[in-house]
Structure 1
Amino acid sequence: MPKNLLRIEFDNGEHLDVLPNLFDTRNFERAMRNNRQWGELRDNGMRLQAFRGWSAASRLGLIELTWEQFYEDPHTPVLSVSPAPEDETEDDDGLEVDGLGEDTLTDQPTTS
């Protein structure tokens, strides 16, 4: 599972997992420049994560909410945007191959 995967949870119990890319981060930087009242980047960690999730979901056509509906509206259907949970059944790199290494000897006798 990609390390940067974000999970968007909705109030109806559904969720979306999205993978933001450079375009989504660039969109956030552009929005920050256009909305100086947001303040500095260091004060916008939660907004950055939410924006990247919203931008990725919008780019992929998974949601039709505007940014204001997604984040600014007190009646938003979005409960949270957070890193997607790690799948415990996958190995770290996702590179496990069934059967690979099954016949490999683990302890080989050494003679001197």
Structure 2
Amino acid sequence: MEACLECAQTCTACADACLGEEHVADLRACIRLDADCADVCAATAAVLSRQTDPDLKLVAALLEACATACGQCAEECEQHAGMHEHCRVCAQACRRCEAACRALLASMA
């Protein structure tokens, strides 16, 4: 859950920083993936925070979606990591969250 919350915050900050860049049009895909990833991570964290009688199918589906969103966002941000520090930091947070989601999924199997 903590990795999801950290990733959501980092993706939101990255999207905002991208909007402030001179060549913002070149960062459209990054901004969109940041926003999508932040929303998926926030939803996943919210569901994971509910401890009473969780629906494991729903939790697994969210974890899979979160890992996928994080992986895609990380790939995009890694393309800009050499030019933009915020993209480098975001890619790292996304990779951590992706790994955490996959680890939790594996523990549920």
Task: Please indicate the TM-score interval, normalised by the length of the shorter structure.
Answer: under 0.3
TM-score (norm 1): 0.27
TM-score (norm 2): 0.28
Normalized per residue, which structure has more helix?
Answer: 2
Normalized per residue, which structure has more strand?
Answer: 1
